[in-house]
Amino acid sequence: METQTTNTVSTQTPANPTAPQKSYGTKKVIFHAYQIIWYILGVVEVLLAARILLKLISANANSGFASFIYSLSAPFASPFKGVLGVTAAMGSVIEWTSIIAMAVYAVVAVGLVKLFLLIKPTTEQEVDKTLSQ
């Protein structure tokens, strides 16, 4: 008795062919949100660090650059004014307000990124893998 085998090719289509594209789009948006959060944090941290440095070296507040940095960083430092005092010695000032602001903004940025991770876990490698498929 001879047995005959036949090969069948499945012609089923995926239940939702746009699901990978939609998933990639969501991951890409979240990944860009991470990048934007880190970029904004970097700008704010640099401004506050420059403010701390200029106060530490007793920069003339009336000079153009120092005035520019102080005016740009003031909105980020002002919510923390009065939390701690200012330490001054021989003209140098350690502005604890700006140091606390830097720490708080870093914690907020990490918290936002972690919140996005709870919504939809995404890594750079995952986005690249999805893109290559």
Q: What is the pLDDT of residues 86-124, one digit of tens each?
A: 787 777 888 889 999 999 999 999 999 888 778 776 666
**Domain count of the chain?**
1
Residue with the bigger pLDDT between 71 and 21: it is 71
pLDDT at 122: 60
The answer to whether residue 59 sits within a structural domain is yes
Q: Does 3 reside within a domain?
A: no
In the structure, how many helices (H) and strands (E) does the chain have? Answer: 4, 2
Whether residue 49 is contained in a domain is answered as yes
How far lies 92's CA from each of 7, 48, 77, 80, 126, in Å?
Answer: 84, 16, 18, 20, 48
For residue 88, the enclosing domain spans: 31-132
pTM: 0.70
Instruction: Give pLDDT, residue 74.
Output: 92
Residue 100 domain flag: yes
- pLDDT band at 1; cut points 50, 70, 90: low
**Angle at the Cα of 99 from the Cα atoms of 97 and 101, rounded to 5 degrees:** 70
Residue 20 forms part of a structural domain: no
Asked, for residue 120, whether it belongs to a domain, the answer is: yes
The rounded distance, in Å, linking the Cα atoms of 51 and 72 is: 9
Judge contact between 51 and 66, C-beta under 8 A: no
- Per-residue pLDDT tens over the stretch 41-88: 999 999 999 999 999 988 888 889 999 999 999 999 998 888 877 787
